[in-house]
Amino acid sequence: MTFSTLGLSAELLRAVAEQGYDTPTPIQAQAIPTILAGNDLMATAQTGTGKTAAFTLPLLHRLAAAPAKGRTRALVLVPTRELAAQVAEAVRAYGRHLPLRCAQVFGGVNINPQMRELRAGVEIVVATPGRLIDHLERRTVNLSGVEVLVLDEADRMLDIGFMPAIERIVKQLPQERQTLLFSATFSDAIRTLARRFLRNPQTVDVARRNAAADDVSQSAYLVDHARKRELLAHLFDAQNWQQVLVFTRTKHGADRLAKQLDKSGIEATAIHGDKSQNQRMRALAEFKRMKVRALVATDVAARGLDIDELPHVVNFDMPNNPEDYVHRIGRTGRAGQSGAAISLVSAEERDQFAAIKKLVKLEIPATTVEGFEPQHARAVPAARPSANGEQRHRHAQRGHAARYDKSDGNAKHERRRNEGAPASRNGQRRPEKNGRRPFRGNAVVG
Residues that bind ligand AMP (CB under 6 A): 21, 23-25, 28, 47-53, 306, 308, 334-335
The answer to whether 435 and 414 have CB atoms below 8 angstroms apart is: yes
Minimal distance in Å, beta carbon 197 to ligand AMP?
21
Question: Residue 116 and residue 96: Cα distance in Å, rounded?
Answer: 22
Minimal distance in Å, beta carbon 8 to ligand AMP?
12
Q: Quick one: 41 or 366, whose CB is closer to ligand AMP?
A: 41
The answer to whether 325 and 356 have CB atoms below 8 angstroms apart is: yes
Q: Quick one: 264 or 337, whose CB is closer to ligand AMP?
A: 337
Nearest to 327, CA basis, from 289, 356, 349, 362: 356
Residues 6+ apart with CB under 8 A from 59: 35, 74, 124, 148, 150, 180
Minimal distance in Å, beta carbon 45 to ligand AMP?
7
Q: Quick one: 309 or 363, whose CB is closer to ligand AMP?
A: 309
Q: Quick one: 84 or 443, whose CB is closer to ligand AMP?
A: 84
Q: Quick one: 82 or 306, whose CB is closer to ligand AMP?
A: 306
Q: Quick one: 53 or 271, whose CB is closer to ligand AMP?
A: 53
Minimal distance in Å, beta carbon 208 to ligand AMP?
16
Q: Quick one: 280 or 334, whose CB is closer to ligand AMP?
A: 334
**Which strands form 124-127's sheet, in the order they lie side by side?**
102-105, 124-127, 74-77, 148-151, 178-183, 41-44, 202-205
Q: Quick one: 47 or 104, whose CB is closer to ligand AMP?
A: 47
Minimal distance in Å, beta carbon 206 to ligand AMP?
11
- Neighbouring CB atoms inside 10 A of 189's CB total 14
Is residue 59 within a helix (H) or strand (E), and if so which, with residue range? helix 51-65
Is residue 155 within a helix (H) or strand (E), and if so which, with residue range? helix 154-160
Question: Residue 364 and residue 83: Cα distance in Å, rounded?
Answer: 29
Q: Quick one: 21 or 311, whose CB is closer to ligand AMP?
A: 21
For 380-440, the DSSP string reads SPPPPTT-HHHHHHHHHHHHHHHHHHHTT-SHHHHHHHHHHPPB-TTSPBPP-BTTBPPP-
Question: Residue 258 and residue 252: Cα distance in Å, rounded?
Answer: 10
Q: Quick one: 181 or 238, whose CB is closer to ligand AMP?
A: 181
Is residue 93 within a helix (H) or strand (E), and if so which, with residue range? helix 81-94
Using only the alpha carbons of the chain, give its radius of gyration.
24
DSSP state of 205: E
Minimal distance in Å, beta carbon 289 to ligand AMP?
16
Minimal distance in Å, beta carbon 281 to ligand AMP?
17
How far from the centroid of its chain's Cα atoms is residue 308's Cα?
12
Minimal distance in Å, beta carbon 232 to ligand AMP?
27
DSSP state of 211: P
Minimal distance in Å, beta carbon 439 to ligand AMP?
43
Question: Residue 200 and residue 132: Cα distance in Å, rounded?
Answer: 27
Minimal distance in Å, beta carbon 48 to ligand AMP?
5
DSSP state of 224: -
